[in-house]
Structure 1
Amino acid sequence: MFGLIGHSTSFDDAKKKAMDLGYDHIAQGDLDVWCSAPPQLVEHVNIVSAIGKNIEGAYIDSCFVPEMLGRFKTARRKVLNAMELAQKKGINITALGGFTSIIFENFNLLQNKQVRNTTLEWERFTTGNTHTAWVICRQLELNAPLLGIDLKKARVAVVGATGDIGSAVCRWLSERTGVQELLLVARQQQPLIELQKSLGGGKILGLEDALPEADVVIWVASLPKTLEIDKAKLRKPCLMIDGGYPKNLDEKFNGSGVHVLKGGIVEFFTDIGWSMMELAAMEKPRREMFACFAEAMLLEFEGCHTNFSWGRNNITLEKMDFIGQASEKHGFSVIGLNPKLQAAIA
């Protein structure tokens, strides 16, 4: 069995979902009540892949909401409690979705293996970052040419280049896609220098300097709230792949020759009988999902019960090949530009 650990996109959405599920005592509580609410296994699902492989899965709501991000102890507890629940339910491989993965990595929860009487078994969990990195790279390779962008002549900026997903994307683009130049953007200088050295190239720039130079911008970091960029200074056309969380680039950049694509999202070949993706505002909630969630499904399809994506900067091209091939074999495809836009360009 595979598992998915997720959360609502806001406190208001969480209260509405809790009411729909019949958890009135939680739904009517304030944020302090939600901070103490335990995780809930809210949905079971059966899924058959494109080659006929049948698996079972479960969705666990961590009862975390983004409004809790400023409460370190609460955020940490929410993630660990959800992981404990998944393990107690006997789930073989569980993906950490949304902020749960970010909290796990940034708060270094590897130091918190003991949760009450449960010793967490790390091999039961995956961040899903390998599949996310592969999906973002495929979205670039498939959609840039639709805008007339020749990747062999393109400058591609990776914002958040030193992170787990960002560094994997950089390695893929450097060795597999062969873009003209990588523009490396991140907050800390020393990790950027180390990444540049490992890649054997790439140009280190600040965000405001990189954006006007880039034909493609891959965001795997959150968008700074105070960022003000004159869209007139950006290249036209420009493809922006929003691989961060939450996905909000289209609010700032879309239009006037700048095309924003939601990154790290896949579509299954047929409808799935679940409601969990409605929380994530997917356009096709019965088929679309975050690539990190799909990684847990793929590992279950393949009988590969291991922490496939774990730690930081451990993603290899070989792992990306494996999960990418499994993704296509079992019926997933990466989402692309809006079909109406593609028709207009054609």
Structure 2
Amino acid sequence: MFGLIGHLTSLNHAQSVARDLGYPEYADQDLDFWCSAPPQIVDHIEVTSATGQKIEGKYVESCFLPEMLASRRIKAATRKILNAMAHAQKNGVDITALGGFSSIVFENFKLEQIKRVRNLELDFKKFTTGNTHTAYIICKQVEAGAPKHGIDLSAATVAVCGATGDIGSAVCRWLTARTGVKELLLVARNQERLSALQEELGFGQPTALEAALPQADIVVWVASMPKGVSVDLDSLKRPCLMIDGGYPKNLDTQFAHPDIHVIKGGIVEHSLDIDWHIMNIVNMDVPARQLFACFAESMLLEFEKWYTNFSWGRNQITLEKMDMIGAASRKHGFRPLLT
């Protein structure tokens, strides 16, 4: 059985969907209440592969909210993720994906050092960040989206915002080795990590965000932040392809321009309807078929019976593992969203 650990995008979002999740008593509560709310299994899922194979899973709502980081409720945030992991393990889940901020909180606050939650010893082999599949899907969105919108990758400048993160560094490796892009702009806050990534790639130029945007034919956003990013429309090239791989989505600007194209990054569409309800509350256009690639990774691991932490640790994603999960993704009927 596979598991998904997720969270809602904001306190307002959480309050608005609490009744739909079956918890009306949560609907009018403030952030302090959500800081103390326990994880809950709120959905039971059945997925059918393109091969005909069927699997079952559970969705664990962690009750984590991004405002917990913005308001420095760090202990509450870390407790949320650990408790949700323990809840999934106690309920017999074989492999669980840490969605959205779950994996970021786990890695940034080194939660692997905390192996015991109450009376349960966490088995980290039962968890995956899902980042390998997310990175693979974003790269495929770049490869398919560029020519669709009149951009020649061999002549293109690509800016990766969040380049030193787990997903960002994997995207940079793929773009460098597999696509032949003309120029790669590496955007991140940590200069030491930027220098190390540039040295590893032997390619790419560390660049500030404000300088990168006017130069980029393609912008890949893979840095998740509690609040979105405002982008000056007039600063962008025409055409420009923007792939927003954050959750919540980083771009809070609606681009009403025919030459500015935004793709929901890291989203896949399944070839068959999935029997679940949870995607109805996260603004998917086709909730029965569309989902986050990180969630799909745990499904793929269940389909293939790869019960291991396939994606784990910072900057450990290899091209070989991206190829491996990509082949499984295609086999079982997932494809990158291109809108």
Same-fold call, TM > 0.5? Answer: yes
TM-score with structure 2 setting the length: 0.95
Q: Deviations over 1:21-75 (max 9, x none)?
A: 4433344543322221111111112211000111110001112222322310110
- Can you give the 5+ residue segments of structure 1 that lack an aligned partner in the other structure? 338-346
Matched-pair contact (CA < 8 Å) for 1:208–1:229 = no
Q: Deviations over 1:186-217 (max 9, x none)?
A: 11111111111111111111111111111111
Residues 166-191 of structure 1: CA distance to partner in whole angstroms, max 9, x if unpaired? 00000001111111111111111111
Residues 235 and 23 of structure 1, relative CA distance in 2, 3 Å threshold? closer
Q: Which residue of 2 aligns with 1:53?
A: 53
Kept in 1, the 8 Å contact 2:229–2:251? The answer is no
Partners of 2:9 and 2:247 within 8 A in 1: no
Partner of 2:195: 193
1:277 aligned partner, one-letter code:
M
The answer on whether the counterparts of 2:66 and 2:226 sit within 8 Å (CA) in structure 1 is no
TM-aligned CA distance change 1:310 to 1:128, over 3 Å: same
Is the CA contact (8 Å cut-off) linking 2:161 and 2:222 kept in structure 1? yes
**Gap change, CA 1:27 and 1:142, over 3 Å in 2:** same
Using the alignment, how far apart are the partners of 1:25 and 1:237 within structure 2?
Answer: 48
Q: Closer, same or farther in 2 for the Cα pair 1:32/1:252, shift >3 Å?
A: same
SS at match of 1:325: helix
| Alpha-carbon contact 1:9-1:279 (below 8 Å) kept | no
Per mean C-alpha deviation after superposition, the further-off stretch among 225-234 and 79-88 is 225-234
Q: 1:48–1:229: structure 2 CA closer, same or farther, 3 Å change rule?
A: closer
Q: Does 1:42 align with 2:46?
A: no
C-alpha contact (below 8 Å) 1:221/1:244 kept by paired residues: yes
Measured after TM superposition, the shift of residue 227 of structure 1 is: 6.0
Deviation at 1:280, TM superposition (A): 1.2
Query: How do 1:231-246 and structure 2 match up within 5 A?
Result: 231-246=233-248
SS at match of 1:9: coil
CA displacement at 1:130 relative to structure 2:
0.3
Distance (whole Å) between structure 2 residues aligned to residue 35 and residue 155 of structure 1: 42
Q: What count of residue pairs does the alignment treat as equivalent?
A: 337
Deviating more after overlay: 229-238 vs 324-333:
229-238
2:3 is equivalent to residue 3 of structure 1: yes
1:66 matched residue in structure 2: 66
1:150 correspondence with 2:152 = yes
Q: Is the 8 A contact 2:231 2:251 kept in 1?
A: no
User: Could you say which residue in structure 1 is the equivalent of 2:185?
Assistant: 183
Q: Give me the identity figure in percent.
A: 63
Question: Which amino acid is 2:209 matched to?
Answer: L
Q: Is the 8 A contact 1:240 1:258 kept in 2?
A: yes
**Larger mean Cα displacement after TM superposition, 29-38 or 309-318:** 29-38
Q: Which amino acid aligns with 1:176?
A: R
Q: Where does residue 115 of structure 1 map in the other structure? A: 117
**TM-score under structure 1 length normalisation:** 0.93
The 1-side partners of 2:230 and 2:55 are apart by 46
Find the partner of 1:171 among 165, 170, 173: 173
Which residue matches 1:289?
291
Q: Is the Cα–Cα contact under 8 Å of residues 229 and 252 in structure 2 kept in the other structure?
A: no
CA gap of 1:224–1:151, structure 2 versus 1, over 3 A, is: farther
Quote the Cα distance in structure 2 between the aligned partners of 1:179 and 1:280: 33
**CA distance in 1: counterparts of 2:25 and 2:260, whole angstroms:** 45
The alpha carbon displacement at 1:8 in A equals 1.8
Query: How many Å apart are 1:4 and its aligned residue?
Result: 0.3
Change (3 A) 1:226 1:301: closer
Q: Which of 289, 302, 305 does residue 303 from structure 1 map onto?
A: 305
Contact 2:46 2:276 in 1 (8 A): no
CA spacing shift, 1:253–1:110, aligned 2, 3 Å: farther
User: What secondary structure, in the 3-state scheme, does the structure 1 residue paired with 2:144 have?
Assistant: helix
SS in 2 for 1:144: helix
- In structure 2, how many angstroms separate the alpha carbons of the residues matched to 1:25 and 1:232? 45
Q: Which residue of 2 aligns with 1:95?
A: 97
**C-alpha distance in structure 2 between counterparts of 1:195 and 1:115, whole Å:** 35
Whether contact under 8 Å (1:158, 1:184) holds in the other structure is yes
Pair 1:266–1:116, CA change in 2 (3 A): same
Map Cα deviations across residues 288-338 of structure 1 (whole Å, 9 max, x no partner).
00000000000000100100011100000000001111111101011113x
